[in-house]
A and B are shown apart, each in its own frame.
Chain A
Amino acid sequence: MSEPLTLALPKGRLFEQVRELFASRGMKFDVDGRKLTSLDESGTLRVILVKNADLPTYVHHGIAGLGVCGDDVVYESGHEFTHLLSLKFGGTSMALAARRDHVRDEAPGHLTIATKFTRFTRDYFQGLGIPVKIIRLDGSVELAPVLGLAPYIVDLVETGSTLKANGLEVLETLKTIGVNLFANTAYYKLRFQEIGRLVDILKN
């Protein structure tokens, strides 16, 4: 039997859904709070649990061969991976939001935006030819317009309830964000047969 495939999974909102998906296909694994790696019961996968934002780094360096996380995280990392499968859960969108009562008072063609997604925001608005000033925040981004740090934010919006609770509204949806299973490109080349079988199992 060959070595199990290594799969990095993000701690947090996606983990349970990914675990259920694999469990429903006969690959049960158990990773609790302290144990960060686990071999699934069928011996197909070695699962490594890492912080969401670090996941692309582990896969890029081949420490984990496979990974699951959102497009947003991969984009921010700047790394590129071999695409394997789009998962049907965890979808969300990247949106530009502001206070419901906001009045556009900045000079035309200029935006100040607070966001955790600095790379995406810069590339998106540069692509439109709109100069932006970006203020990097690590969380609770919706506070920025409320407290007056920046009139606009770019953030992931699922239901919009957090925005609503803070008196904000979506001005524009910028991109649909999906969750994907992907592989380090070199790892894929060496183990494409096993990875192909895994993808087939997950697809059906």
Chain B
Amino acid sequence: MNEAQLYKLPQGAERLVLDDAFRRQVLTHRVQNLFTSWGYQPVQTPVFDYYELYAPFLGTHAETVYRLVDREGDLLVLRSDITLFLARSMGVVLAPGHNPLRVCYADTILRHEDIEGISADEFYQIGAEFIGSDPDSDVEILLLLDEVLAQLGLDARVHLGSRALFDAAFEALSPAERKAMLKAISLRRWDDVGRLAPLFAVQGGPSELSAALSSVPVSAQVKTEALSLIQTYRSLEEAGAAGRFRLDLSEVGRHDYYTGLVFQAYQSGLGDALASGGRYDKLLARFGLESPSVGFSLHLGKVEHLVDLGSVPKPSGAEKATGSTLAERLANARKLRAAGRSVTL
């Protein structure tokens, strides 16, 4: 046996044991119960799939995925992005003209991160997607995210932007220029953005966005997308759930498959977004099904340490059953367990 290998983990591998693993299990169940109560059905995506299918969507992640060759000589990729793997699965399972389908997942992903990434906490994603046409689906997904964050006891803020608005504003750019522009906007380098900078700099509510809209000349399409974003916010307000949401057009989405609403959730004390999502209406078509879709995923590992589990009896703190014989102890344990306690024999 190689002693050195026994004590180290390959970069990017995650190990979770005992109390930490229990904490994840409890939180996963809580969120999954919430998903179930909203009518979201579980989906498990394959751990690996054909690389070629995903290559066009990997973008900057292409260098970080793990590839391997199967026994037939086909190139495979390990699951690196659940949204992509889910799109592929649903593209095959659903038929055109299907009814709206609500799905959810909790799964690990595998990606190589360099030492600076220290992203072991990004490898467990829990999320939900709404597949199909429904005018309220954007709002439903945001409301669901809001409840998930509340369920976890987080006071995270969710910033809403629009990739559709970006696309409408910069449709004339070449792919390389678009990429540079996406970066300039998301990093708020306004000198590189040009005359639309005041619009993309907006952060706040509908009034701020409306004011910015009238301060710079924009195309009809850009205006339509901005109004649609405002409408989404208004719907959240009407539902009495706008508290943690803000409009922020510097949110343009981390993936190129987004086509509409995009958003990320931020929590004080975390150096990066803890959840992200958006609308991707063309992605499923690439896997054989014309169907719009919107969803989010949350890096549960990033927030686990911030969540108060409450008075959950931990198995590590289990009490010992009393009794002089095994049968007595079993009877005692059954009684205590029925009351929700954690008991060893």
Contacts and interface: CB of A to CB of B under 8 A. Distances in A.
Q: Which of A61, A186, A187 has the most CB atoms of chain B within a 10 A radius of its CB?
A: A186
A60 B271 contact: yes
B116 A60 contact: yes
A77 B116 contact: yes
A43 to B, nearest CB: 19
Contacts, number: 46
Interface string A35-65: 0000000000000000000000100111100
Contacts of A83: 187-190
A185 B157 contact: no
B23 interface: no
Contacts of B183: 80
Given A189-B248, A189-B266, A61 B271 contact: yes
Nearest to B248: A189
Q: Chain A: interface residue count, which band?
A: 20 to 34
A185 B267 CA distance: 11
A187 B187 contact: no
Contact of A78 (B116, B186, B187, B203): B116
Contacts of B186: 185
A106 to B, nearest CB: 30
A186 B187 contact: no
B109 interface: no
B188 A62 contact: no
A119 to B, nearest CB: 11
Given A77-B116, A189-B157, A62 B271 contact: yes
Contacts of B102: none
Interface in A67-85: 77-84
Q: Chain B: interface residue count, which band?
A: 20 to 34
B94 to A, nearest CB: 35
A140 B203 CA distance: 46
A121 interface: no
B273 interface: yes
B201 to A, nearest CB: 10
Contact of B269 (A62, A77, A81): A62
B20 interface: no
Given A80-B187, A81-B187, A82-B187, A185 B272 contact: yes
B272 to A, nearest CB: 5
A185 B187 contact: yes
A107 interface: no
Interface in B242-270: 248, 264, 266-270
Given A60-B271, A82-B188, A83-B189, A190 B266 contact: yes
Given A61-B118, A189-B248, 12 more contacts: A62-B269, A62-B272, A63-B271, A82-B188, A83-B188, A185-B187, A186-B271, A186-B272, A187-B271, A189-B159, A189-B264, A190-B266
Interface of B: 114, 116, 118, 157, 159, 183, 186-190, 203, 248, 264, 266-273
Q: What 7 A-B pairs have minimum CB-CB distances, sorted nearest first? A: A62-B271, A83-B189, A186-B266, A189-B266, A61-B271, A82-B188, A190-B266
